[in-house]
Every structure is written in C-alpha cells, then in structure tokens.
Amino acid sequence: MVDPVALTQALVRCASVTPAEGGALSLLADLLAGAGFAVHRPVFSDAGTPDVESLYARIGTGTPALVFAGHTDVVPPGDAALWTHPPFAGDISNGVLYGRGACDMKAGVAASVAAVLRYLDRHGPPPTGSIAFLITGDEEGPAVNGTVKLLDWAKARGEVFTACVLGEPTNPRDFGEMMKIGRRGSLTGHIDVCGTQGHVGYPHLANNPIDAMVRLLAALKAAPLDAGTAFFDASNLEVTTVDVGNAATNVIPVTARATFNIRFNDRWTPETLAAEIAERLAGAGAGAPYDLRFDPTNSVSFLTKPGAFVDLVRAAITAETGRTPVLSTSGGTSDARFIQNHCEVVEFGVVGQSMHKIDECVAVADIAALTRVYERIITAFFTARHGA
C-alpha cells in the first residue's frame, strides 16, 4: 500500500512553485496509472498568463462519481536560509514533516491518493460508480488556467461528478475541528482622485485630492456592508493601500490613489457589490473628480448546504477523531468556488497554521489520520449508494 507520509515527502521534494509542475504531477500520474486509472495531463493557456499543466484521473465511468481535488503548486519559499529545514527537502523531525507545500496542500493530495488506493486494494473499483482526481498547478497563481479550465475540459468530455472533497488545510489548531462548506468571495477595487497641484501656502489655488480621498474612504467604511447570513460572517471591506507619490512637504499633490479588498458573503455578487460601492462613493461629496474601477474576479461566494454529503463527511471525521467539526465558511478563497458549479463540494484537510510561512510543516500523525478519514468517506459514500 502507498504510504501517505512518504508520498507527501516525495511531493514536497518537487519544487512545484506556481506555475512549474516540478515533477509532482508526473509522480502522481505514474502512481495512478499503475493502479488502473485513466490519466490525462491537459495544458491550458490564456493571454497574459503562464501555461499550466493539470492532472485528471478516473477509474470507472459511471455514477455516482466521487472526486478528490487539490493542487500541487506552491508559493515561493522566500529566503531558504531562514528555514530550519530546507524548503524542498521533506525532512521529518520530532514527528513533523517540513517543507514548502507540506500543509498547503501536498499532504492533502497524498492522503487522498493513498486513501483511494487502499480502498481499491480492499474493495476493488466501485461496481457502478467511479473515483476521480482533479489536480491543478494554478491554485496559488492567477487561478485562470487551472481548476476552472480543467473542469470545463472534463465537462466537454462528458465527465459527470456527484460530490467532491477538496483537501485544503481547514483546521485552525487541532485536526478534526473544522471543515469548510463554503467560501466568501473576493473583490478588489481602486479609487483614483484627481486634484489640482499647488503650493501648500496657497491652498486656494489648489485642490487637495487627499481631502477628497478621506471623504470617499470614510463613506465606504461608514456602515457595515451587512450583518452576516445564516452560514457566513459579515462581509468586510479593508483599505489595503493609500498612495500619493509625493516626496515634497510643501506641495499639494495632484493625485491620490487607494486600493481596497472586500471579502463578501452569499448576500452579494461581484456585480451587486460593485453597485453598492459606487452608490456609497456617489453620496460622499468628494469635492474632486475620481475614478472607480474593479479588478476582474472569478472569486464568488458559495455554500454547500448541509445535507446527506455534508453529514457523511462530518460523520467520517467524527468517527476517526472523536471531534464534531464546525461547519465553516471562513478563510480565503479556494478552487471549491469553481467545483461548486459541477457538484457538491466540501473541504477538509490538515491543520493550516503554517501555510505560506517559513518552516511550513504538517504533523506526520495528521497525514495518517487524514488518510483514514478519506478512506472512511469513500467507504461510506459507496456503501450509501450501493448498500454494500
């Protein structure tokens, strides 16, 4: 049987910094092909973005189809000299496996592969269903040529999915305490104010854009966007930068620029949120011309409502850990926002305290426990549908 810890080490040793494949997908492709999976390695492209290679593997052709999704790309390690263990060595010390991507999310990928192969060794392929993997190399990057296009590619081939488990790190502190059933959306906006440059001693001959910017930003923050919804916290708007580019102390600048980001719940879409922001700014009485623009976004809020599949995953976690995980929609975005357009999706993985940090790591015991949770999910999923 495949050792999920050794597989995590092997994946960590692949320097797959977005968009580099780094050998990680090749490793998985060989492993899955050897187990009887039909494996595909499509490459997707788009103008202004790097080409990205993904992996799709499936055993069986029918439904129900259980999918495990994830990514093998990682963020850069930064200064390797600051790491206690080399970022791509996969070292284990005192029961902890270190390396870039160890928790986000190569441990999740390794555990899902190991769990599926163990299930197949014990039970064989599902009699009328199938198991699939959707693995991308673009989750930490623009997220343009990864999961979203892989799903469209699979749909065009006639692939149908019933439910999906995404192995992102979901637990804040202790393994088994949290699973994700939704995610907030993300929208970034920019405000440019155009003033009139002048001498600070003659303000009547100028129009300070900073004054207008202060009024505009105050209008954005004056009232909450909402009070939250049944499964989501309140949406939050945070100003992330304000710039005037002025090195002189005696000159009123000509322009002021600000950027803000909103993490929004299921009350909003990017379109309705943009309209709300425009309305708030219009009523601010800026006193100077300004321009509002938004970055394109494919990050929308979504929710997998509690039901049979959520209950199945939750029960598997509880059976293995003794904990009843909180059903959460917290945190940043994930590729689940794309998957939810094709099937039900929940997220459960290891503890995520160290993701993107120096000395990123994962407890070896948690990798083993996650593998057992995933095997419980597979068994319960097909038992519920086949009665065997």
- The residue-averaged pLDDT of 195-206 equals 97
Task: Give the span between the Cα atoms of 50 and 281, in whole angstroms.
Answer: 36
Q: Is the pLDDT of residue 61 over 90?
A: no
152 catalytic, yes or no? no
Percent of the chain topping pLDDT 70: 99
- The residue-averaged pLDDT of 47-74 equals 95
DSSP 141: T
- The burial class, CB within 10 Å (0-12 / 13-18 / 19+), for 202 is exposed
Dump pLDDT digits (tens) for 117-156: 999 999 999 888 999 999 999 999 888 999 999 999 999 9
Number of H helices, E strands in the chain: 9, 21
Cα–Cα distances in angstroms (integers) from residue 20 to residues 86, 103, 143, 204, in the given order: 19, 18, 14, 56
Closest-CA residue to 166 (of 339, 303, 6): 339
Closest-CA residue to 70 (of 142, 163, 16, 134): 134
DSSP 203: G
Q: Is the pLDDT of residue 29 over 70?
A: yes
Percent of the chain topping pLDDT 90: 94
Write down the catalytic residue from 21, 104, 139, 366: 139
Q: Residue 1's pLDDT is what?
A: 81
Write down the catalytic residue from 73, 168, 344, 347: 73
- The residue-averaged pLDDT of 80-109 equals 98
Q: Residue 127's pLDDT is what?
A: 83
- The burial class, CB within 10 Å (0-12 / 13-18 / 19+), for 359 is middle
Dump pLDDT digits (tens) for 205-214: 999 999 999 9
Task: Give the span between the Cα atoms of 276 and 118, in whole angstroms.
Answer: 51
Q: Residue 364's pLDDT is what?
A: 98
Task: Give the span between the Cα atoms of 89 and 87, in whole angstroms.
Answer: 6
Q: Is the pLDDT of residue 388 over 50?
A: no
Q: What radius of gyration, in Å, describes the C-alpha atoms of the chain?
A: 24
DSSP 214-273: HHHHHHHHSS-S----SSSPPPEEEEEEEE-----SSEE-SEEEEEEEEEE-TT--HHHH
Dump pLDDT digits (tens) for 171-192: 999 999 999 999 999 999 999 9
Go through the chain and tell me how many residues it has. 388
Q: Residue 387's pLDDT is what?
A: 52
Task: Give the span between the Cα atoms of 169 and 363, in whole angstroms.
Answer: 12
139 catalytic, yes or no? yes
Domains within the chain, CATH numbers bracketed: 4-183+301-386 (3.40.630.10), 185-294 (3.30.70.360)
Mean pLDDT of the chain: 96
Is the distance from CB of 116 to CB of 134 less than 8 angstroms? no
6-38 burial: b if 16+ Cβ within 10 Å, else e = ebbbbbbbbbbbbbbbbebbebbbebbeebebe
pTM recorded for the entire structure: 0.90
